[in-house]
Structure 1
Amino acid sequence: MLVVNRFRADADDAAFRADLEKALEVLSAQRGYEDGRLGRNVDDPGLWVMVTRWRDVGSYRRALSSYDVKLGAVQTLSRAIEEPSAYEPVEPGLDGDLNTAVPRDLGAR
């Protein structure tokens, strides 16, 4: 699962960048987190993006419920532009197998 959060901030807002980096660090410690990146738009430096990849939707939702994420990331994530943020990866070989139910695996990271 991909999560794409876009943010609007002042182009030279170093504190906002630090907040994004901290939020990504906190998210990266959660079970089911696979990868994450921050980016800034090349044409509009006030537009930022945080893209994270999760094992499944449940992993992401449980991460948002964790105490550490509530303390260290939710305040920053709440500044995201209000739009749908959860995406299902479309990869070669899936042949239209999108939105399929996957059983939970509580033991994996």
Structure 2
Amino acid sequence: MIAIARFEVQLAESAAFAKDLSAAYEALASCAGFIDGEFGQNLDDSNLWALVTRWENVGSYRRALSAMRTKLEAIPLLARAIDEPGAYE
């Protein structure tokens, strides 16, 4: 499964956001069932960012969201995501 989270971030916050996004990615990547992923800033609109991760299955992704490290390092950032469906099979 693929999980996509998009974010709208003001340019003045970009450096701090990139650091937080990297920490969130590393927390997710440490979880069982993580296959790969990437994150980056939009080329056309520098206020938009995306985090894309691939998982063995939806259960792995859901368990990752419940992991303590993820709760501390990723969930606060994911709470800032644009409110839209983000899980794809």
Unaligned stretches of 5+ in structure 1? 89-109
Which structure has the larger Rg? Answer: 1
How many residue pairs match? The answer is: 88
Identity %: 51
Q: Does the alignment pair 1:19 with 2:17? A: no
The residue number in structure 2 matching 1:53 is 54
The residue number in structure 2 matching 1:100 is none
Give the TM-score normalised by structure 2.
0.96
State the structure with bigger RCO (CA 8 A, min sep 6), 1 or 2. 2
The residue number in structure 2 matching 1:30 is 31
Cα distance in 2, alignment partners of residues 9 and 2 from structure 1:
22
Structure with the higher helix share, 1 or 2:
2
Shift of 1:11: 2.5
Displacement over 2 Å in runs of 4+: none
The Cα RMSD (Å) is 0.7
Structure with the higher strand share, 1 or 2:
2
Deviates more, 1:10-19 or 1:47-56: 10-19
Unaligned stretches of 5+ in structure 2? none
